[in-house]
Each structure stands twice: as C-alpha cells, then as structure tokens.
Amino acid sequence: MKAFFLDKFEYTKHCNRLLIELLRKNPETYKEKISLLASHTLNAHHIWNHRIFGVATALSVWQILDLNHLDAINEENFEHTKELLQKKNLKEPIDYSNSKGQNFTNTAEEIFFHIINHSNYHRGQLVSQLKVKGVEPIVTDYIFYKR
C-alpha cells in the first residue's frame, strides 16, 4: 500500500509542477482566486504533513504564496510525504487539531488519501479558472501521467 501512495504522490508532484509551469508562463493570471487556490493546494499538503509529523506548520491554510516559491514548496511537500511514508504505519492514528482548533483523529492512510484527493480537486478548479482566462488547459488525468 505504501508503494500505491508513493506513486500517487509522485503523480501529485508532477501535476503540481505542470500547473506551476503554466502559471509561470501566464503570471498575469496569478492573482485573486487563482493565486488563492494554487497556494491553498500546496499549503494544505504542507499542513497535513506537519500534522502527521506532529510539529507546527510554517504556512497557514489560505496564505498566498509567491509564484516563485511554488516549485520549492511542491518539492518539499513531496520529500516530506516520502519520509512519512517510510516512517509511519498507515494504520497509525494521528491526533491533530484543524484550523478552527477542533481535535480529530484519523489514520495516516486516511490523511494521505485526503491529501491526494484534495490536490486533485483544487487542480481541477485551477484549470477551469485558467481556461476562463483564455489559458490552454493542461491534462492532469492520472491515466495520461502513466502513459
């Protein structure tokens, strides 16, 4: 199962990189909802990694990131997740507090699945937003990644 998650996180990193490259080619679009969603996607991954590690986060949920820092954060998120996949038992319960201070417990496996699903959801929103702005959409379907 860890190999399954590693593959999906490699896919997530790849698709994020494609989207970041697209944003860099169209920097005029990196404002308002697009910058918010792109930042949130990476911030959330960062936050979940830190929750699993049990340490404080450096980023907040809706913090707007500088376009030039997105690649580094994407890479850092992947490397931290890879480390977590090596160290954690997928069935291990993780206690954490959400951004509202509410306490919850989920397994590492549930959290990893959530990170992947959450990233896909917001990348879809971003591609739709960029298309409205006249930017040629990128293909982020998993099957295309595997071909």
Low-confidence ranges of the chain (pLDDT < 50): none
Q: Which residue has the tokens 């990644």?
A: 145
pLDDT score recorded for residue 67: 98
pLDDT score recorded for residue 56: 94
pTM: 0.96
pLDDT score recorded for residue 26: 98
CA angle (80 as vertex; 75, 84 as ends), nearest 5: 145
pLDDT score recorded for residue 95: 98
The CATH class given to the 2-53+66-146 domain equals: mainly alpha
Q: Which residue has the tokens 């590492």?
A: 108
pLDDT score recorded for residue 55: 95
